[in-house]
Amino acid sequence: MTIKVPTLSAIGEAEAKQFQDEGYLVVEKLIGEADVERIRDRFDPVLAGDFETGVYPDEWYWRPGMSLPDVTRHMANLWKSDLTIAGLVVSSEIARVSAFLAGWPGTRLGQDTLWMKPELSKEISLHQDNSFVDFLDPPEMLTCWVPLDDTQIDGGTLEYVPGSHTWDLVPLPRDFHVPEEHYKSKMLVAAERAGIQNPETVPIEVKAGGCAFHHGNIWHGSGPNQRSDIVRRSIGVHAVSSVTKFPEEGAGYIYGRYKRIGDVSMDESFFPVLWTPDGYRTPFLADYCAEMAVL
Ligand SMILES: O=C(O)CCC(=O)C(=O)O
Ligand SMILES: [Fe+2]
């Protein structure tokens, strides 16, 4: 299913400067209401394990009947499982803007993530996305976070610590989905190490279908959904540079399975090139999201 992402012509040098200074950039409108609804409608089936293409996602942290009811549902790499979600994830325009903001020669898909915070659910620990890809060369990603519900300050929206993309990278917290201590604790330790007193956290209030681009090193996460009347759904498109390679040795415990023996290139079947200035894009993407596409 094609998802229409119009040209984001309002993102120019001033916005790139803002992104470099703050580590994030909010865009009020990325996709239209009908497309928001189409993607939202796919959440129930995929969360129930009903995968349109028959391919399971690479990460699936919450199972009905098995997992705690009040934690955030989180899955990764659904573009292989669901062609509507894929329509957003493989967008060449999101990829073009990602390359522009990151200063990359082109954009490749690292992975996608799906998030659903039900009513009265727990936090996601503040973290830095580059901790997920510290084995890649270069070890960096840039995320486009797309909420599919209007986000609210008390509804578990995403929070950024402006400027924290300049701090050192630390490993991913173990207690990511169910923080053992306050969900900001690890960020506060990192702030102290960076010599920052009382770091500010900015909650992102944006309408469904808007988005925020964020730097791979920025500290971010989400507070509890304290509302009993709203759920908060979103998709993260996690881009890497088109020239990214696997390391010679070791390659991460989930995505390392896609590294070919004796070959550091990232296979385009799993990490497609989404945008390059000369127009190259991994060929199978041309009709991948067509309704009758077969893998
Ligand atoms: O939606 C959330 O609560 C977390 C999102 C996130 O960490 C990301 O997209 O990188
Ligand atoms: Fe993240």
Q: What pLDDT is stored for residue 292 in this prediction?
A: 52
Report CA dihedral (230, 72, 74, 64) to the nearest 10 degrees: -90
| Distance, first Cα to last Cα, the chain | 14
Q: Is the CB of 104 under 6 A from ligand 1?
A: no
* Cβ atoms within 10 Å of 178's Cβ, excluding its own: 14
Q: What pLDDT is stored for residue 176 in this prediction?
A: 81
113 Cα nearest atom in ligand 1: 9
Q: Is the CB of 128 under 6 A from ligand 1?
A: no
The CA-CA-CA angle for residues 99, 131, 147, to 5°, reads 60
Ligand 1 pocket: which of 121, 124, 130 to mutate (most atoms <8 Å of CB)?
A: 124
Q: Is the CB of 211 under 6 A from ligand 1?
A: no
Q: Is the CB of 213 under 6 A from ligand 1?
A: no
Q: What pLDDT is stored for residue 295 in this prediction?
A: 45
CA 145 to ligand 1 center in whole angstroms:
7
| 1 pLDDT above the threshold of 80 | no
* Cβ atoms within 10 Å of 15's Cβ, excluding its own: 18
Q: Which CATH number fits domain 13-287: 3.30.499.10, 2.60.120.620, 1.10.3720.10, 3.30.70.120?
A: 2.60.120.620
Could you give the 3-state DSSP secondary structure of residue 88? helix
Q: What does the domain layout of the chain look like in residue ranges? A: 13-287
| 122 pLDDT above the threshold of 70 | yes
Q: Are 225 and 156 in contact (CB under 8 A)?
A: yes
Q: Are 161 and 191 in contact (CB under 8 A)?
A: yes
Rg (CA), the chain: 18
pLDDT band at 291 (very low <50, low <70, confident <90, very high): low
Ligand 1 pocket: which of 234, 235, 238, 240 to mutate (most atoms <8 Å of CB)?
A: 234
The model's pLDDT over 99-118, given as tens digits with 9 standing for 90+, comes to: 999 999 999 999 999 999 99
Could you give the 3-state DSSP secondary structure of residue 97? helix
Q: Provide the percentage of residues in the chain whose pLDDT is more than 90.
A: 90
Task: Pick the range with the lowest mean pLDDT from 7-16, 77-86, 284-293.
Answer: 284-293
Question: What is the Cα–Cα distance from 19 to 11, expressed in whole angstroms?
Answer: 10
DSSP bridge partners of 91: none
pTM above 0.95, yes or no: yes
Pick the residue whose CA is nearest to atom 4 on ligand 1. 221
User: What angle, 0 to 180 degrees and rounded to 10, lies between the N-to-C axes of helices 13-22 and 92-102?
Assistant: 70
The model's pLDDT over 243-260, given as tens digits with 9 standing for 90+, comes to: 999 999 888 889 999 999
